[in-house]
């Protein structure tokens, strides 16, 4: 979807048995130069290994692969606990807080924070239902295209370059048949026609449901469509016996989004990034910057036509 070149690593023992793998992609940036990343455009990546020795070998191999290309640097996104006891040449730094909700065994056991907070959440859900909002699971690519328009509008509002539609199309084709992706849409009838209000793409793997990508119309937020989507998704995840519900990471400059995730009872956990030889991070999210040029870019971005933000998003994700 982004045009990155694969540089994946595998570790085998003397008998040829696979001991671990490390997904690794090479990206040529306009500002940062060459970067090897595990993984780009995701909150987490890194090696998958049977033991610490294999994990360390994969990381050191990635470092040597990076050293072989002048000016290149390495970025690895993995939990800090994966480095416990390992002697590797990486520089680590906390990146963002991600919000996770531990799920009970049965949906009827779900509570969202304190009784007062739970009642507030229930009030928003009931309001959405009372005003005619309904949630359904998308089942066709045309639904995905309709949702993508909402996503573009949302990314323009937050001044974040959107991922290309091809990314979501590939995910739909590859992951949905495996039961690893679903799209929930919030809609209501307006003048006899179904009007999309919001939608969220969820990814499922192992025991976790990830709330990955959201799109919504800002003028519809008072009707709480996202509350109804989250309520449905969390209850579905619990009924399907998932044990964790990940609401995703939040930038430090967006406290309202963090508040939305906290109201569901989710607790913050730091995501880390590791580098070699040192940190050379450039964020493509314009909301990260509070400088005068950043504020100007913020204002200009919010007034771009949606097709222009989509085109610039392709360039930003490819080269930054």
What's the CA gap between 124 and 217, in Å, rounded? 17
Q: Which of 55-64, 67-76, 78-87, 261-270 has the lowest mean pLDDT?
A: 78-87
> Mean pLDDT throughout 64-90?
91
Neighbours of 30 (CB within 10 A): 11
Give CA separation, 36 vs 33, 69, 90, 229, 286, in Å.
Answer: 10, 10, 13, 36, 23
Tokens found for residue 30: 């306009």
Q: Mean pLDDT score of the chain, rounded to an integer?
A: 91
Neighbours of 54 (CB within 10 A): 20
pLDDT at 118 over 80: yes
Instruction: For residue 148, give the nearest of 3, 306, 318 by alpha carbon.
Output: 306
CA-based diameter of the chain, in Å? 69
- Residue 16 Ramachandran class (φ > 0 left, ψ -120 to 50 alpha, else beta): left
Give CA separation, 56 vs 42, 90, 95, 184, 211, in Å.
Answer: 22, 11, 22, 40, 31
What's the CA gap between 294 and 48, in Å, rounded? 38
Q: Tokens 């987490």 identify what position?
A: 44
Q: How far is CA 28 from the centre of its chain?
A: 22
- pLDDT value for 291: 63
Neighbours of 172 (CB within 10 A): 18
Q: Tokens 């809609």 identify what position?
A: 187
**CB within 8 A of 267, min separation 6: which ones?**
99, 100, 101
pLDDT at 107 over 90: yes
pLDDT band at 287 (very low <50, low <70, confident <90, very high): very low
What's the CA gap between 184 and 227, in Å, rounded? 12
Q: Yes or no: say if 199 and 149 are a contact pair by the CB < 8 Å rule.
A: no
Instruction: For residue 204, give the nearest of 167, 256, 241 by alpha carbon.
Output: 241
> Mean pLDDT throughout 239-264?
91
The single-letter DSSP state of residue 50 is: S
Tokens found for residue 286: 């314009």
pLDDT at 154 over 60: yes
What's the CA gap between 272 and 216, in Å, rounded? 29
Tokens found for residue 147: 């949702």
- pLDDT value for 179: 96
pLDDT band at 290 (very low <50, low <70, confident <90, very high): low
Instruction: Report the percent of the chain where pLDDT is more than 90.
Output: 74
């Amino acid at each position: 979807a982004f045009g990155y070149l694969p540089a994946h690593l595998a570790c085998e023992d003397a008998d040829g048995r696979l001991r671990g793998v490390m997904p690794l992609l090479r990206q040529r940036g306009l500002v940062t130069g060459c970067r090897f990343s595990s993984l780009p455009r995701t909150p987490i990546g890194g090696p998958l290994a049977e033991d610490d020795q294999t994990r360390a070998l994969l990381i050191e191999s990635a470092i040597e692969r990076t050293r072989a290309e002048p000016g290149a640097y390495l970025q690895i996104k993995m939990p800090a606990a994966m480095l416990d006891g390992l002697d590797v040449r990486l520089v680590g730094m906390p990146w963002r807080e991600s919000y996770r909700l531990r799920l009970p065994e049965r949906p009827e056991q779900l509570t969202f924070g304190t009784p007062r907070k739970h009642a507030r959440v229930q009030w928003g859900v009931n309001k959405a239902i009372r005003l005619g909002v309904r949630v359904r699971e998308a089942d066709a690519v045309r639904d995905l295209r309709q949702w993508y328009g909402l996503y573009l509008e949302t990314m323009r509002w937050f001044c974040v370059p959107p991922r290309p539609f091809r990314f979501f199309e590939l995910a739909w084709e590859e992951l949905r048949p495996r039961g690893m992706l679903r799209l929930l849409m919030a809609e209501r009838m307006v003048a006899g026609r179904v009007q999309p209000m919001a939608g969220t793409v969820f990814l499922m793997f192992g025991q976790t449901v990830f709330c990955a990508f959201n799109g919504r119309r800002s003028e519809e937020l008072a009707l709480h469509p996202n509350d109804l989507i989250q309520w449905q998704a969390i209850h579905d995840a619990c009924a399907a016996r998932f044990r964790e519900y990940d609401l995703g990471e939040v930038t430090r400059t967006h406290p309202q989004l963090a508040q939305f995730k906290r109201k569901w009872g989710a607790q913050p956990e730091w995501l880390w990034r590791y580098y070699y030889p040192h940190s050379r991070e450039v964020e493509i999210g314009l909301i990260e910057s509070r400088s005068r040029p950043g504020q100007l870019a913020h204002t200009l971005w919010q007034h771009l036509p949606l097709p222009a933000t989509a085109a610039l998003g392709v360039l930003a994700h490819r080269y930054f």
